[in-house]
Amino acid sequence: MIMAKSMTNVNIAIVFLITSVVLTFDTIIVLCSGNNNSGHVVCVESERQALLRFKQDLSDPSNRLFSWAADQSRGGGDCCEWVGVVCNNLTGHVEELHLPTPFVDYRDEYEYEAFQRSRLTGGNLNPSLLDLKHLTYLDLSGNYFNGIFQASLVLLGA
């Protein structure tokens, strides 16, 4: 009888241990998947809105930022999937913006015009970039922001 009771306690302990491991594993999977059903981490909504405010003040004649859509039904919901945006795989925070316009050694006026159209321009560099608290890399080289660019970079580095 003592042996049977001892075996029952061991069985209960084993079941408890297995259940704990399974629950812990499920918790890890949920945490690493950004708490959504697809297993894909999506961007933080406040950072998505900050990027949309930044785009709002830009002129983008060649439509380089076409993927930066405000309308979620058109596939613009996840800013981590947008052109030039790099997010942290675990948190969904925007960490990098790669939006350079490479300099082209143009040979004629048509190539020069194409280069000019490919540039992002704006009278004001929207301060919404300051809302991207996890931003560690920003490349806006080759674009034109009426001289405001340098001051904004200093603020981002602070």
| Domain ranges (residues) in the chain | 1-32, 45-157
**What's residue 118's pLDDT?**
77
Half-sphere exposure of 132 (CA within 13 A, CB side): 34
**What's residue 86's pLDDT?**
97
Q: Which residue do the tokens 């919404």 mark? A: 128
Terminal alpha carbon distance of the chain: 72
State yes or no: pLDDT of 113 exceeds 90: no
State yes or no: pLDDT of 111 exceeds 60: yes
**What's residue 126's pLDDT?**
84
**What's residue 29's pLDDT?**
35
> Which tokens belong to 94?
């925007």
Using CA atoms, how far apart are residues 117 and 108, in angstroms rounded to an integer? 15
**What's residue 117's pLDDT?**
72
Using CA atoms, how far apart are residues 146 and 116, in angstroms rounded to an integer? 14
Angle at 149 between CA 68 and CA 134, to 5 degrees: 55
The CATH number assigned to the domain with range 45-157 reads: 3.80.10.10
State yes or no: pLDDT of 73 exceeds 90: no
Using CA atoms, how far apart are residues 96 and 35, in angstroms rounded to an integer? 22
Of the chain, the percentage scoring pLDDT greater than 90 comes to 34
pTM of the model: 0.65
